[in-house]
Structure 1
Amino acid sequence: MASGKQEDVEALPLGPQNLPEVERRRTISDPAAIKAIADPLRIRIMRLMQDGAHVEPRNFTVKQIATELGEPPTKLYRHIKLLLKTGFIQVAELRLVGGIVEQHYRTAAAEFALRPQPGDGLASGVIEAAAGAAIDEFLGRYQDALRAGRTYLRREDALEHPPHVASAGTISSVRIPQAKAAEFAERVAALASEFCAFDHEESGIEVNLLTIFYATE
């Protein structure tokens, strides 16, 4: 696991902690860390903490995270503890409030990429759980955006509400020649790489992309 773990919080001094700058992107291959992120709520916590972290990372208490996610604080403590233990988040500051030490957390990296290593003993079920958690979290945000009128299902509705861009997507299963499938997979991978290569433009609009293309035989 990359540096950034802060498991012994009691040994830290009060005040802002001496931390390195938030990493732009960190690749995670540690099995324990991959297991830790295989949960929709923990992914929601990380997405909140990573929002804008490439420009100016924000510090959060558990209560602040709970307020923004609409969850009770008691539900979050064990998730925060696990994210801290596996290095996804760090203690950024300790404050003494009413005789109690209040912990403020920040993300360790603006982006994380999961890269399991062959032979690391990580069960396929864990990989499936991590992928499933990410998909569930993505779809949850999509549903929230639809309900709040921040995006639209119909192209016509989107174009009538600038600066919205029409949504594009499909859920399909077809049979095509193997060569065509291989070609299409390369095109999807290239498009996804192009999308991920964009830098975060403060003056731009937020867009979201989920891509999954796979063959079942």
Structure 2
Amino acid sequence: MVEQDLERERAEVGEQPSAWVRERQVGDVAVLKALADPLRLAILGALKSTVGPLTAKEIAAALNEPQTKLYRHIKQLEKAGLILVAGTRLVSGIVESRYCAAQEAIRLAPEMFTADSPVRSEAYDAILAAIDRVRGDFRAQVLDGRLDFSSPQDGSVGPPGLFGHFTLRLTPERLLRLRTQLAEIFDEAGAEAPSEADDAMDVTVFALLYGLRPGADSPGTGSSAAGSPGTES
């Protein structure tokens, strides 16, 4: 109990439990399966977006979900090592746990996507779950009136929004250069400490870039572009 109290005190003053890591590279099938669910990803997001650990009740309130619906998902995340018990306390004779994310960022190991990888399917399931989670969260924020992709008429700087969806025909070398450039931008942004400015805002970045191997029906020449151009405000 003394050790649990110490962990709780650390969490309350902003310290992370000893098992916390800055970035976790995932290559284990059990962790992949834990990530392959939009609700579990939402739980991780809720724990990362708050100061200090949360109870299951507080997580449920943040996600507007029934608390009983979350228990199984929280336990799976804990078993996979993606969340940690930061402290416990006795409430009406019941042990109440407070949870925190076990990492700041998660990276999927590239070798999981090779043709002979035994966890290739699970790795893509984790990506698909992330897509579903972003879509659900984006829709909820739109309905809540918290997003605006329009450009202010007075020329002032509004909430930043950028959307682009298009296809290109590139050489493998150019695709690699584009991927490297994007990765460098994301790594730079991810290394920044959270801003404490009064006008700071939470920002979501989601990127999906992939090249298709030539197939029987692939065009030999030409290029095409489809979708909406980038819109920034």
* Bucket of the pairwise TM-score, normalised by the shorter protein: 0.7 to 0.9
Shift of 1:193: 2.8
TM-score by length of 1: 0.78
Contact 2:89 2:96 in 1 (8 A): yes
Who is 2:120 aligned against? 124
Q: In structure 1, which of residues 128, 140, 155 is the aligned counterpart of residue 136 of structure 2? A: 140
Asked whether 1:16 is paired with 2:11, we answer no
2:208 & 2:131 partners in 1: Cα distance? 10
Deviation at 1:169, TM superposition (A): 2.1
Which runs of structure 2 are paired with 1:73-88 in the superposition (5 Å)?
Answer: 73-88=67-82
Aligned residue for 2:21, secondary structure, equals coil
Take 1:199 and 1:158, find their aligned partners in 2: how far apart are those partners?
Answer: 32
Please name the residue that 2:165 is paired with. Answer: 171
Q: CA offsets, 1:85-140, max 9 Å, x none?
A: 11111222222211222222222222222326458954322111100111221222
Please state whether the residue corresponding to 2:103 is helix, strand or coil. Answer: coil
TM-score w.r.t. length of structure 2: 0.73
The match for 2:182 among 185, 188, 191 is 188
Identity %: 30
The aligned counterpart of 1:5 is: none
CA positional deviation for 1:33: 1.1
Contact 2:29 2:119 in 1 (8 A): no
1:1-217 residue pairs with structure 2 within 5 A? Answer: 15-16=4-5, 18=7, 19-20=17-18, 22-52=20-50, 56=51, 58-115=52-109, 117=111, 122-156=118-152, 162-165=157-160, 167-203=161-197, 204-217=200-213
Would you identify which runs of 4 or more consecutive aligned residues in structure 1 move more than 6 Å?
none
**Which sections of structure 2, spanning at least 5 residues, go unmatched?**
8-16, 214-233
Residues 1:111 and 1:14: Cα distance change in structure 2 (over 3 Å): same
Q: Is the 8 A contact 1:24 1:109 kept in 2?
A: yes
Seen in structure 2, the aligned counterparts of structure 1 residues 155 and 139 have a Cα distance that, compared at 3 Å, is farther
Name the CA shift for 1:158/1:79 in 2 (closer, same or farther; >3 Å): farther
Shift of 1:69: 0.5
Structure 1 residue 206: Cα displacement: 2.4
Consecutive unaligned residues of structure 1, counting only runs of 5 or more, are: 1-11
Take 1:15 and 1:158, find their aligned partners in 2: how far apart are those partners?
Answer: 55
How far residue 77 of structure 1 moved from its aligned partner, in angstroms, is 0.8
Contact 1:152 1:158 in 2 (8 A): no
Q: Match of 2:99, as an amino acid?
A: Y
Distance 1:177 1:116 in 2: 21
RMSD (CA atoms): 2.8
Number of equivalent positions = 200
* Deviates most, 91-100 or 141-150: 141-150
Task: Give the match for residue 7 of structure 1.
Answer: none
| Larger CA deviation: 126-135 vs 196-205 | 196-205
Structure 1 position 20, deviation (Å) = 1.9
Kept in 2: contact 1:89–1:108 (CA 8 A): yes
Q: Distance in 2 between matches of 1:190 and 1:29?
A: 22
Distance 2:167 2:103 in 1: 36
The 3-state SS of whatever aligns with 1:191 is helix
Letter in 1 for 2:159: H
Report the CA distance between 1:13 and its aligned residue.
6.8
Shift of 1:157: 6.9
Report which of the two structures shows the higher radius of gyration computed on alpha carbons: 2
